[in-house]
Amino acid sequence: MSIDTKEIAPAPTGDLGGLAQGRSGLRTLKNSIAGVVIWGAFLIALIPLGWILWTVLSRGLSPMLDATWWQKDQSGVGAPGFDHNVRGARHAIVGTLMIALGTSVIAIPIAVMTAIYLVEYGRGGAARAISFMVDILSGVPSIVAGLFIYAIWVTFFGWQLNGFGSSLALVLLMVPVVCRSTEEMLKLVPNELREASYALGVPKWKTIVKVVLPTSFSGIVTGSLLGFARVAGETAPLLILAQYSQFLNQNLFSGNIAALPTLINTNLPNMAGDPVSADRVWGAACTLILLVLVINLIGRLIGHFTKVKG
């Protein structure tokens, strides 16, 4: 039995090839345009950032490089016979570190434990309510947080204004930042690590302490430093709860205390006609930027040397 075979003519490929080349060229053009737009937006965003950094560094490095900036405060400024050209900011630098550290000691454990509960334990209405409250706190203006603590600290209890009250107000601003960043870091931990630990009979709490937290530790440190940078530059709660002082106060729980933001606010009205006040303003701004930069570098080093290898 024979089968008749017909010669099958090849399909014309000229038009299809041209169409494919046309589509490929159109996609390449769109990709190039999108790349140009993205890079343009990136460079436009760098312009104000570079301008701010250049302005602050060019005007603030000179007073900051003076030894008296780190060694002296402004005790006696305004008194007869006192050298009014003193540009010391030791009292403000120490006050900023004390307030920010006091805030971190309270806020970081609360935020990390809240994030652990939401990721590892949270189910149902309680978890949704806590997550909703964290979202609410993330949008609260700093002056509202300061007024809230003032109403409790001064109006209700009648306590004196001090740096610790400012730390309590800043806790409300730092908790949502650290909580959300920690929550995202915990979600990135593979579930296989948890399941392997459970398969070995390890309790859940020990799995979190020994497996989940070490795996995400570098990310938690980074989020904590972001929160630290947020509260170190806040001004409104300090104006309400910790009045500016020209003297060095090393007691967070008693008396007025200075900080770099309040130092800027105090000298800002005299900045136009007084070169010394202008130096204090720009020097404090430059010191604040340098402080946040150093804290972030330290955090990166801690995260690098403590992260889980391989």
Which one has a higher pLDDT value, 146 or 16?
Answer: 146
Is residue 101 in some structural domain? yes
Residue 125: pLDDT above 90? no
Per-residue HEC secondary structure of 216-280 comes to CHHHHHHHHHHHHHHHHCCCHHHHHHCCCCCCCCCCCCCCCCCCHHHHHHHHHHHCCCCHHHHHH
How many whole angstroms separate alpha carbon 100 and alpha carbon 19?
63
Contact 188, 216 (CB under 8 A): yes
The overall pTM is greater than 0.85: no
- How many domains does one find in the chain? 1
pLDDT surpassing 60 at residue 5? no
pLDDT, position 115: 93
Per-residue pLDDT, averaged over 57-73, amounts to: 85
Residue 44's pLDDT band (cuts 50, 70, 90): very high
- In the predicted model, is pLDDT for residue 292 greater than 80? yes
State the chain's mean pLDDT as an integer. 84
pLDDT band at 271 (very low <50, low <70, confident <90, very high): confident
In a domain, 53, yes or no: no
Q: How far apart are CA 173 and CA 226, in angstroms?
A: 11
Structural domain harbouring 233: 90-306
Q: Residues 6 or more apart from 74 whose CB is under 8 A from it?
A: 86, 88, 89, 91, 246, 247
Tell me the C-alpha distance between 42 and 308, whole Å: 33
At 41 the pLDDT is 94
Consecutive H or E run containing 14: helix 14-64
For 246-253, what is the mean pLDDT?
Answer: 86
Q: Six-digit token pair at 116? A: 């652990």
Q: Nearest to residue 197, comparing CAs of 176, 212, 177?
A: 212
Residue 267 has pLDDT above 60, yes or no: yes
Q: Is the pLDDT of residue 264 over 60?
A: yes
3 pLDDT above the threshold of 60: no
Q: Which residue has the tokens 């009292």?
A: 91
Q: Which residue carries 């080093």 as its tokens? A: 301
In a domain, 153, yes or no: yes
40 within a domain of the structure (yes/no)? no
Predicted pLDDT of residue 175: 93
Q: Which two tokens stand for residue 264?
A: 């800027």
Mean pLDDT of 229-244: 87
Q: Are 168 and 237 within 8 A, CB to CB?
A: no
Residue 134 lies in a domain: yes
Choose the most confident range, by mean pLDDT, from 105-109, 123-127, 193-197, 216-220: 105-109
Banded model confidence at residue 149, pLDDT cuts 50, 70, 90: very high
Query: Confidence class of residue 9 from pLDDT cuts 50, 70 and 90?
Result: low
Specify the CATH number for the domain of residue 264.
1.10.3720.10
Tell me: the pLDDT tens digits for 175-216?
999 999 999 999 988 889 899 989 988 898 899 998 899 888
